[in-house]
Structure 1
């Protein structure tokens, strides 16, 4: 691989990083997630990968289109937009007039999206006092669902309460959306309910409560204990856990000033705020106690299997249990009449290789896992074609519009050629299924996961709400969190089949859980590993990373280029130079098709700094609408875990107009800061599910702690033709690839599946 940029120019020093006061305290590019080990709980809101961090769920069936939902969700704030029209002649500075506690609280909320450190604590611990009995928990009204907007009167009432407590009124819409119609009353009765708004920390909620309750607000207030317990579990979910060990939760509660953590957890369990489980620990291989002929233990007592005590929020616990039930239903299902064994075998024999193995596995099982890189996608494509040829209603679901377009093109190529492209071990064609496959050529059979679940895409649903299909192939399966995966399995009819396909080397989902990895480890269904490697120097490099080796590969066409840098300023300069000049000129990939990937949002070489530098060169402008101008490259995050690339079209009275994957989207002003970012530079999690002709991965020297094998694998594998690595971490990169695996997540899926599946599959 080359160690110089392609045809490097001798440009003068490039644009410097913007002077962002919020970043001055950050020593490094903030890691894009705050995943914690099973024994820890994050104390700060984890970065949500440029997505909304409110823990939004995938849209349910019957939802309006994404653009309409965005408008409906903010209709209550149109009056506020109208009042501020006059201010749009200059830059919009939402929250700029706040000070003191309100400014601190708003800064903490924005830390979720900006990567900033939370504002200093505002809770002043009261003098020791007798423990107060916990008041009856306040049960707010059910929150509004996606596509609904809080009523105007609800927002106004919440705004008044926030003002009385010194909190920024800008949180009114979020609080009303989370707490429901009784939001104002709930906040008055229990100010710590404000912790349910994404980004608010306990110390900010403490200040709000003290302003409303006066001397009644203290660290031993039962309302505070319940709210902090829920907040800690939400932070753990943001870091990927579906549950926490009891000891980890009580330790975290003690760090938050809760006087009696064990009693606080028990109170939360009694009130139904959280659920507790006792899951058996994995077998250690220790032989069971001997029994005498009468069946009694030889030593007089039967040894009990050790367990671990886990605590979880009901939302994630129920989703994981529902997922386990749905997967078990598929594994144990009896198929509908959908082609004879002989027909399936002919299709498998015609395909040959690992594609044939995949077809055979799907023919006989309700749940199958398929692993492989980008080239292996030809195998699910051939499976779909064969299944449709046998008369099955078969669809594929991907996570991004870009992935949908790419896989639809691959399906079209398979149908047109009549063979599995790239398969060289057989010269036979799928003549037996070509005719039937051609009948469906006009229907690509590919949808996004969100579109499939909402009904905006896909085959539709029957009267019982089940999807009208016999086979569903979900690509990029590692991106599935427990809630989305549960919705997918619940939507499948009895007797249908599910194939989960993906690359096990990439980062796990943004949301809680590690569904694909848990299923691979549980071995409850057939697993087919593709023998189709990604081609060329890039494929060789990424394959090595997947097994923990950072190899030097021959790159005669400059497919891989290493650009050494000494400091953050040079890293920014060389990145801009690569995108604007070197890669377009030497590789032939224009700047608009080159993607920059960096470990975090904050710091001197985070996404904010790099996007500012790239905007200055590629689309300079005043940023009159929340920092954006027409032509800006952006990513839109309509929900947590979903990131859609796009462009800014214009800004109007109704909000920011975007073009995302060919769809017109209007984001109201109040939603821009939460759901839209500049998109010339992304984190690896934001880039998942997408690929670009050229990728520039930036590894500044202060980002060492953010590096892991899955991060490097994910970032490097986003490139189709060319990869430049702006390298400032020296030996930390090969060490991360060789020694730093994915951070563990605490989940319950393997334990839940074990009793429901009769026998493990090979």
Structure 2
């Protein structure tokens, strides 16, 4: 590594990491460096940096996309409701587990389950996955109805209730929209419903309830316990969990002053605010409990030995998504791929490739689901697969996480075309060529092949790049949209940060081992590749960088870190490396803090594009990070402003963001968080590590941030030994999910059947 002055110019495993209840929606994407949160443990929750959206305004492309995805989710839920039995995790249950499942069904009868729910649960049996019902295509953007805001009289009524309880009247419009019809009456009857409004903290809801209820308000109020339970599950989703283990949830409730956590959870289950599941644990060598007398049948025969299980509680939306994803993946695993191309053609394609690329082609030839792992350089193998599949007559498409990743892979496809392949423009899907889209564009219909008459995507092979960025809801929509007989390849680097949204789909698939896995043997080249590869195995090594590929810039404090960062982007890197400021990105652990994205972007704007910020803080020429939906960040540049809103130039499109949505969905974009940068690469990257960011560092964060550079990496280093310690010792924070159990259960049932 070089320090040449020419360039520098002088939690326990298994325990859910619940985010704190403070902070506004703009900070939910990654923890502030000053708070010591970690980037991978926080999900996009409302600000531009992490995908937040402000409500209101006319129908935009982002709203149309969200509306289309909502329709898809509604259809998935409808399909679940039409099944023979409701969503459940077990078959014959006894004892406490039966009480837990009965709590869910008590919604229909109005009965309340017992409060003592957490003794030894019984084993569960999952039902086999039925064939999915095909849905129509989502409503196109131009025909999707614009969401109607709450009526003025409804907002006024809510404002009166808020004022009576001492809450800010500015929350009225959002509360009316969130609570829907009769919002004022609902809020008066249950003041803790205020927690459903983004940004409201637990103590603020308590204060509002005391102001509204007076002496009737108490910590043991059933409504309070129920609202706190839902809030904790929502916070767990922000941290990446799709469910929480019941003991961890009740412990968290107790920590937040709920006198009877079991009763609070029981109430949430009774009211249908949450669902309960029971999953068998696969623990090699674990003792198997013998059945008790009560578990034996009438004829004296026991049901069989019991396996250890865990009781999980989750929100319905993530439970349905995870069940739907498991069903869709089982359909791919158990169906024969569509006959596209002869066996001899596939073998010729594999023989013409080399090494792990040939393995990938052979695996895809005979299987509906294949996993491919590797670093940035390994993308040549999915590119070769797509080119060969297209030559065999398959409708082959790739979907990347970001527009930058889409455009880079399209360029890679041009070099992957096999000899004798017909002409055309690779990356567009035209003239028999493979196409490249973003995942969001594919699902919304804005990009890609469109859908057939049954509502399925009109393709035969889909390669999902950046698969670790798939959250459980997006993955469910994607898999449900694939036609019968299609092939799906999930490709990505398992060392990067997981998705901003709940779930860890790619890691769960790798852990489940239910389909072929092909590990690329293509190494990332040069000093940057050597550095990042070492980080991936927990070693921060010093690499030789004769071309100043890697530069370390030591700093004493956050103020110096900001100063050095501006120097690097504006002067040093363009002069010494030859990469202009427009092709350099800054990555820092959080939005807040003395060297977070806010401070860095302000300093970089003052140097690179000074102006009065007359358009909501923005000027033409500003680099921006636009978040049309939670968890998505699109880079771009401000073109100007007009009556409709702020006009942005983004890769492949022009976007007009309504004025009332600008504050919530647009940030300056010279400096990003690692989650925002995931899925993209830049010629030069400056990673800023101020002293107050030490607690935010982890191996996946460092691996992701350092890996965004293709030519040059500068590290503004102020964390001393915290950096090598994070690389060596701090792995990804665990996420509680159900997907591996669901997949293994379905695989074993299919094998037995």
TM bin (shorter chain) = 0.7 to 0.9
**1:150 aligns to 2:149 (yes or no):** yes
Map 1:487-526 onto structure 2 (within 5 A): 487-526=477-516
1:295-374 equivalence runs, <5 A: 303-374=305-376
* Contact 1:176–1:183 (8 Å) recurs in 2: yes
**Residue 725 of structure 1 aligns to a residue in which SS?**
strand
Q: CA deviation at 1:311?
A: 0.7
The CA deviation string for residues 572-617 of structure 1, in whole angstroms up to 9 with x for no partner, is: 1111111111001111111111101111111111111111111111
For residues 188-587 of structure 1, the aligned pairs below 5 Å read 188-286=188-286, 303-415=305-417, 418=418, 429=419, 431=420, 434=422, 440-441=430-431, 445-587=435-577
1:695-735 per-position Cα deviation (integer Å, ceiling 9, x unaligned): 00011122111111100000000001100001111222111
Structure-2 change in CA distance of 1:8 and 1:284 (3 Å): closer
Among 37, 50, 65, the residue aligned to 2:61: 65
8 Å CA contact 2:158, 2:172 repeated in 1:
yes
Per the alignment, residue 175 of structure 2 pairs with 175
Distance in 1 of aligned mates of 2:404 and 2:485 = 31
Higher mean C-alpha deviation, range 385-394 or range 577-586: 385-394
Measured after TM superposition, the shift of residue 654 of structure 1 is: 3.2
Q: TM-score, normalised by structure 1?
A: 0.79
Distance change (3 Å), C-alpha of 1:683 and 1:342 = same
Deviation at 1:681, TM superposition (A): 0.9
SS at match of 1:458: coil
Matched residue, 2:612: 622
Distance 1:301 1:463, change over 3 A: closer
Q: Alpha-carbon deviation of 1:357? A: 0.7
Does residue 728 of structure 1 match 2:718? yes
Distance 2:414 2:315 in 1: 44
TM-score (norm 2): 0.80
Q: Name the structure 2 match of 1:681.
A: 671
| Cα deviation code 1:538-577 (max 9, x no counterpart) | 1111111111111111111101001111111111111111
Return closer, same or farther for 1:443/1:191 CA change in 2, 3 Å cut-off: farther
Q: Is the CA contact 2:40–2:732 (under 8 Å) kept in the aligned structure 1?
A: no
Q: Following TM superposition, by how much is the alpha carbon of 1:167 offset from its aligned partner in structure 2, in angstroms? A: 3.5
* Deviation (angstroms), 1:64: 7.0
Does structure 2 retain, via aligned residues, the 8 Å contact 1:710–1:742? Answer: yes
Q: Equivalents in 1 of 2:645, 2:382: separation in Å? A: 40
Residues in 2 aligned to 1:712 and 1:568: alpha-carbon distance in whole angstroms: 19
CA displacement 1:173-218 (0-9 Å, x = unmatched):
4334433344344333323222122221111222233333343333
Q: Could you tell which deviates more after superposition, 671-680 or 301-310?
A: 301-310
Q: Per the alignment, in what secondary structure is the counterpart of residue 506 of structure 2?
A: helix
Cα distance in structure 2, aligned partners of 1:230 and 1:71 = 24
CA contact 2:32–2:593 (8 Å) conserved in 1: yes
Distance in 2 between residues matched to 1:349 and 1:72, nearest whole Å = 42
- Change beyond 3 A, Cα 1:356–1:55: farther
Residues 553-702 of structure 1 aligned to structure 2 (within 5 Å): 553-702=543-692
Q: What residue is the counterpart of 2:72 in the other structure?
A: none
Query: How far apart, CA to CA, are the structure 2 residues paired with 1:670 and 1:521?
Result: 44
Tell me the equivalent position of 1:86: none
Unaligned runs of 5+ in 1: 11-21, 37-41, 57-62, 74-135, 138-144, 419-428
Q: CA deviation at 1:342?
A: 1.1
**For 1:638, what is the secondary structure of its paired residue?**
coil
Number of matched residues?
Answer: 647
Give the corresponding residue for 1:94. none
The residue that corresponds to 1:98 in the other structure is: none
Does the C-alpha gap of structure 1 residues 696 and 759 become closer, same or farther in structure 2, counting only changes over 3 Å?
farther
Cα distance between partner residues in 1 of 2:68 and 2:337 = 41
Does the 8 A contact of 1:46 with 1:239 survive in 2?
no
In structure 2, stretches of 5+ residues that fail to align are 11-25, 70-109, 112-143
> 1:112-165, CA deviations, whole angstroms, 9 ceiling, x for partnerless residues?
xxxxxxxxxxxxxxxxxxxxxxxx99xxxxxxx995242444555544544444
* 8 Å Cα contact 2:350-2:358 kept in structure 1: yes
Structure 1: distance between partners of 2:369 and 2:467: 13
Which residue matches 2:91? Answer: none
Q: Distance in 1 between matches of 2:289 and 2:219?
A: 48
Once residues 639 and 165 of structure 1 are traced to their aligned partners in structure 2, the CA distance between those partners, rounded to angstroms, is 33
The two structures, once aligned, show a CA RMSD in angstroms of 3.3
Change (3 A) 1:49 1:744: farther
> SS of 1:50's equivalent?
helix
Contact 1:32 1:47 (C-alpha < 8 Å) held by counterparts: no
Contact 2:322 2:738 in 1 (8 A): yes
* CA distance in 2 between partners of 1:509 and 1:698 (Å): 22
- Looking at structure 2, the residues matched to 454 and 176 of structure 1 have their Cα atoms a distance apart, in angstroms, of 28
Which is worse superposed, 686-695 or 437-446?
A: 437-446
Distance 1:48 1:650 in 2: 22
SS state of the match for residue 370, structure 2? strand
